[in-house]
Amino acid sequence: MAAPTGTCCKIGPSILNADLSNLASECQRMMDSGSDFLHLDVMDGHFVPNLTFGHPVVKCLRPKLPGVYFEMHMMVNNPEKWVEGMADAGADLYTFHIEGSDDPMTCIRKIKEAGMRAGVGIKPGTPVESLLPLLKEVDWVIIMTVEPGFGGQKFMEDMMPKVRYLRENFRTLDIEVDGGVGPKTIHQCAEAGANVIVSGSAVVMSDDPKETIRMMRQVVEEAMPKPLVER
């Protein structure tokens, strides 16, 4: 599936807090609620202490969710070694952490050669300037607003200057925020300039996920400069 075009608002639920015994149906429920893509968290138990799933699960999900855009959030060490497996499984966007790779440029090249789009993320303690050499080569960036590895953490508002810096200097960059984002924190993200919103428990565990997504989309689109809203 092609990615949403242009720098517009994109909302993708993280399914970590979903009923993982019914993963495909939970993912479909999120898409039926108005999601633009699915944010699939891969954790290796080394880069972060938690462990989730790998490309075999993604490969099983792909035929059950045809046409759904899969963003792989690779919270792993040595992300280069996972590229081919995820491409074969049907991933669309492969986002790795700069802290987990000894050679981010080579990782980006391998991702693109495998036919996926490339993204890069940073943990809260990593300076935003570390992304600058990579920004011409990647399709979007993740600014973590919690420490990666667990769902349900408190949103770190002090990460918003990173988002603001990127938006002021890279007007058309897709900037994703991930961690503790929901109706209570979406305004801070939108005002700083984030346009790609990952929300886990706030959407997945909502009594009305469709309304939650609609509300967050409205906040982001109202905060965006007009040229960025054009599709």
Question: What residues are labeled active site?
Answer: 41, 178
3 state DSSP class of 174: strand
DSSP character string of 201-226: HHHHT-S-HHHHHHHHHHHHHHHS-H
Q: Check: CB of residue 133 under 8 Å from CB of residue 103.
A: no
DSSP H or E stretch at residue 40: strand 38-43
3 state SS of 4: coil
Angle at 1 between CA 68 and CA 122, to 5 degrees: 75
Structure tokens at 29: 């429920």
CA atoms within 13 A on the CB side of 219: 23
- Measure the CA–CA gap between 21 and 18, rounded to whole angstroms: 9
| Burial of residue 66 (number of CB atoms within 10 Å: 0-12, 13-18, 19+) | exposed
